[in-house]
Amino acid sequence: MIVAKGLTKKYEDFVAVDGITFSVKRGESFGLLGPNGAGKSTTMRMIASTSQRTSGDLTILGKDPNKFGPEIRAHLGVVPQQDSHDRELKTWENLYIYGRYFGLSRKFLKAKIVELLEFAQLTDKRDTKVSALSGGMQRRLTIARGMVNEPEILMLDEPTTGLDPQARHILWDRLFRLKEEGVTLVITTHYMDEAEQLCDRLIVMDKGKIMAEGAPAELIKKYSSKEVLEVRFGSKNNAEAGQKIAHLGDRIETLPDRILVYSEDGEKILKQIHKMGLEPQTSLVRRSSLEDVFLRLTGRTLVD
Amino acid sequence: MSLINATVDSAIAIAERRRGKIGAEFYAGRGLVIIERAFLAFKTSSWAVVASGFVEPVFYLLAFGFGLGSLIGGVTDGSGHAVSYAAYIAPALLATSAMNGAIYDSTWNVFFKMHFGRLYQTILATSLGTLDVALGEIGWALLRGLTYAIGFMIVMTPLGLIPSWWGILAIPGAVLIAFGFASVGMGITSYLKNFQQMDMVNFFMLPMFLFSGTFYPLSIYPQWLQYVIESLPLWHAIQMERALTLGVVGWGLLGHVLYFVVMIAGGLFFTTKRLSALFLR
C-alpha cells in the first residue's frame, strides 16, 4: 500500500529523513519506532501528503502524493500527535464537520457518527463541547474522527503519548479492533511496549535513518539476549561496578543510572555478582524488549 | 457499515472526481463546507460581537451625519447637486463597515485559527485543498458583510439617505468591497507571525477610514495628497458606494470595480500560495 524508496526530507541544512526505504502491506500494522527527532513524524507527514519530499520515491496506493495530494488524503485517516479538535464545536459536530471536509453526505454522516461515538465510547458525550472532554476522551475522539471517511490506512502519530495507563489500554483495545477489521495501521511511537503490542512489523529509526527492520520478536532475538538483569549501585558507583562485572553475561551496558547485563539467565548472573562480593541497591530481571534493541543499535535510550 | 457504503459515494470517489482538472492539487471545489463549519461555530458565538458590526456604522451616522451634519448643512456631490451631510457620509460608512467586517474576519479570526486553533492543519489533512480554505473563509466574511450591508440599508432608506434606485446596487457593491478586503486581509495575515505585526494592520486602517474622503471631499487636500489617497482601496470603495446611493452613475464606476477585482485575485493568489507553504511544506 505504501512504498518508499530513498525517501528524503531536508529543511534548509537539516536532514530530517535521510534516504529511507520501506514498504507497508495491506492489513498490516506497521510501526516507526525511534526517539524524538528521529524523523518519524516527518515521514508520517510525507505519507499523509501534507509534506512534500525533497527527493526519493513515494507512492501511496500507487499514487504520487506530490500530484494527487487531496486524492490520497481521501484514502487516509490521520491521527496527529496533538489533538486538534475544533474547540468551538461539540463532540458530534467535530465528527460531522470533519466528514463534511471529505464531501460526505449529511445522511451518511448521521449514521456514521452514531457508530463512531459508540466505537470511541463517547455516546453520552455527544453534545459536550470538546474542551470539556478528558485527555483520553479527546484522543479517542481524534481516532474516531480519523475513521469518518472509512480509510484504508490509519496513520497514528504517537497515539498514546500523555495518556494515563488505563486510557492507553482502552485506546489499544480500540486499535486492535480496527486491525481486526482489516484497516492498515501506520503507527509512530517512542514507547517500546506500545510497539511490541501493536505492531506486526516495524522500523527502528534514528537521526533520519533506518537502523533495523522486522517483527518485534525477531528484532529482539537478533539484537538482544533473552533476559536482562538491571542492577543499580548508585549513580556514583555504577561506572566502577560496571568495569568489575564486565566479563559477565553476553554483553553489558553501563548507563548513568543503572547497569544492564544481557544473558540467557538473569538470576544466574545476579548470583555471580553477589558471589563477587558486590551488593547492588536494587536488581531486576526482565525479558529483553525493543528498548534494548534500540540501545544496542544506537548506544542511547529511547526516552531521554 | 458496508450497507451504508453501497448507497453513498465514498470519500475516495468524491476526491477522484477532481482528477485531471486544473488546480486539483490545491482545490477540491468544496469551499462551501468551510462556510458550513463557520456557521456551526457561529451558532455558539456571542451575539454582542455580531451586533457590534451592525451598530457601529449606525452610531457614526447618528453622531456625524445628524449631530455634526446639523451644523454643516449640505454638501455638493460630484455632479453639482446639493445633498444633506448625512446622505453624503452614509455610503462612506457603508463602505467602511464592509471593509471593517471583512478585515476583522480575515485577520484576527484567521490569525487565531492559523496559530492557535490548528484548524487549518486539521482541514488540510483531509481531501480539501488550500484554495478551498481561502475561498471558504473569505466566503464566510462576505456573508457577514452582506448581512451588515442589508441591515444598514434598512436603516438608511427610511431616513431618506438613499435618494436613488441605483442605491440597491450598493449592497452587492458592499459585498465586492468586503471580498477585496477579505482576500487581501487573509493574504497579509498569512504572512504575519505575531500580535505586534497584527497591530500594524489597525495602525493602517484607522487613518485610511478618517482621510479617504469619508467625511469631506478630497478637494481640500493638496494635489499630491489627493493622488496618494486615490490609490488607496477605501477611497475607491467610498466613491463607488457614494455614486450608487446618490445615483451619480458613470463609466468611472467600472474603474472602481476593476480595482477590487484585482485585489480579490491578488489576495487569493497569495493566500493560497502561503497556506501551501505553511501547512503543506
Contact A84 B45 (CB under 8 A): no
pLDDT above 70 as % of chain B: 95
Q: At residue B77, does pLDDT exceed 70?
A: no
Least confident of A107-116, B15-24, B245-254: B15-24
Q: Spell out which residues of chain A touch residue B10, defining contact as CB-CB under 8 Å.
A: 74, 149-150
Q: Spell out which residues of chain B touch residue A86, defining contact as CB-CB under 8 Å.
A: 37, 41, 117, 119, 122
Q: At residue A276, does pLDDT exceed 50?
A: yes
Cα–Cα distance measured from residue A294 to residue A204, given in angstroms and rounded to the nearest whole number = 7
Q: At residue B6, does pLDDT exceed 50?
A: no
- Going by pLDDT thresholds of 50, 70 and 90, the confidence category of residue A16 is very high
3-class SS of residue B190: coil
Instruction: Choose the closest CB to A89 out of B40, B123, B128.
Output: B40
Contact B4 A73 (CB under 8 A): no
The angle subtended at Cα B203 by Cα B198 and Cα B208, nearest 5°, is 125
DSSP code for B176? H
- Average pLDDT on B235-256 reads 91
Cα–Cα distance measured from residue A46 to residue A58, given in angstroms and rounded to the nearest whole number = 8
pLDDT above 70 as % of chain A: 99
The angle subtended at Cα B194 by Cα B191 and Cα B196, nearest 5°, is 110
The angle subtended at Cα A143 by Cα A22 and Cα A161, nearest 5°, is 75
- Average pLDDT on A267-283 reads 90
- Average pLDDT on A98-104 reads 95
Where would I find the H helices in B157-232? 170-189, 195-211, 223-230
- Average pLDDT on B225-238 reads 92
Nine-digit cell string for B143: 456573508
Nine-digit cell string for A143: 481516532
pLDDT above 90 as % of chain B: 31
Nine-digit cell string for A228: 536482562
DSSP A197-213: HH-SEEEEEETTEEEEE
Contact A88 B8 (CB under 8 A): no
Tally C-beta pairs within 8 A across A and B.
Answer: 126
pLDDT tens-digit map of A22-79: 999 999 999 999 888 899 999 999 999 988 999 999 999 999 998 888 889 999 999 9
Nearest CA in chain A to B131: A70
**How high is the pLDDT of residue A87?**
86
**How high is the pLDDT of residue A304?**
54
Q: At residue B153, does pLDDT exceed 70?
A: yes
- Average pLDDT on B43-71 reads 81
Let me know: does B280 contact A69? Beta carbons within 8 Å: yes
- CATH class as words, domain A2-215: alpha beta
A47: Cβ contacts below 8 Å, ≥ 6 apart: A2, A4, A58, A60, A65, A76, A155, A186
Q: At residue B2, does pLDDT exceed 60?
A: no
Interface with A, mutate which of B127, B140, B273 (most A CBs under 10 A): B127
Q: Which of A79, A60, A57 is nearest to A70 (CA)?
A: A60
Contact A78 B125 (CB under 8 A): yes
Mean pLDDT, chain A, whole residue set: 91
Q: At residue B3, does pLDDT exceed 60?
A: no
Higher pLDDT, B4 or A95: A95
Cα–Cα distance measured from residue B58 to residue B52, given in angstroms and rounded to the nearest whole number = 10
B175: Cβ contacts below 8 Å, ≥ 6 apart: B98, B142, B145, B146, B149
pLDDT tens-digit map of B83-120: 889 998 999 999 998 898 888 888 888 888 888 778 88
Let me know: does A146 contact A154? Beta carbons within 8 Å: yes
Q: At residue B79, does pLDDT exceed 70?
A: no
- Going by pLDDT thresholds of 50, 70 and 90, the confidence category of residue B4 is very low
**How high is the pLDDT of residue A3?**
95
Contact B15 A67 (CB under 8 A): no
Cα–Cα distance measured from residue A188 to residue B188, given in angstroms and rounded to the nearest whole number = 36
- Average pLDDT on B144-152 reads 87
Mean pLDDT, chain B, whole residue set: 86
Q: At residue A10, does pLDDT exceed 60?
A: yes
A280-284 own/partner pairs: CB under 8 Å, 24+ apart: A280/A231, A280/A232, A280/A233, A280/A241, A281/A232, A281/A233, A281/A234, A282/A230, A282/A231, A282/A232, A283/A229, A283/A230, A283/A231, A283/A232, A284/A229, A284/A230, A284/A231
Q: Where are the domains of chain A?
A: 2-215, 225-287
**How high is the pLDDT of residue B83?**
84
Residue that the C-alpha cell 452587492 belongs to = B172
Contact B28 A86 (CB under 8 A): no
Phi-psi region of A103 (alpha: psi -120 to 50; beta: other; left: phi over 0): left
pLDDT tens-digit map of B173-209: 999 999 999 999 999 998 988 888 888 888 888 889 8
Architecture of the domain made up of A225-287: 2-Layer Sandwich (3.30)
pLDDT tens-digit map of A206-255: 999 999 999 999 999 999 888 999 999 888 888 888 888 888 888 888 88
Quote the minimal CA–CA distance from B115 to chain A in Å: 12
Quote the minimal CA–CA distance from B87 to chain A in Å: 41
Let me know: does B8 contact A105? Beta carbons within 8 Å: yes
Cα–Cα distance measured from residue A245 to residue A237, given in angstroms and rounded to the nearest whole number = 12
- Going by pLDDT thresholds of 50, 70 and 90, the confidence category of residue A303 is low
Q: At residue A162, does pLDDT exceed 50?
A: yes
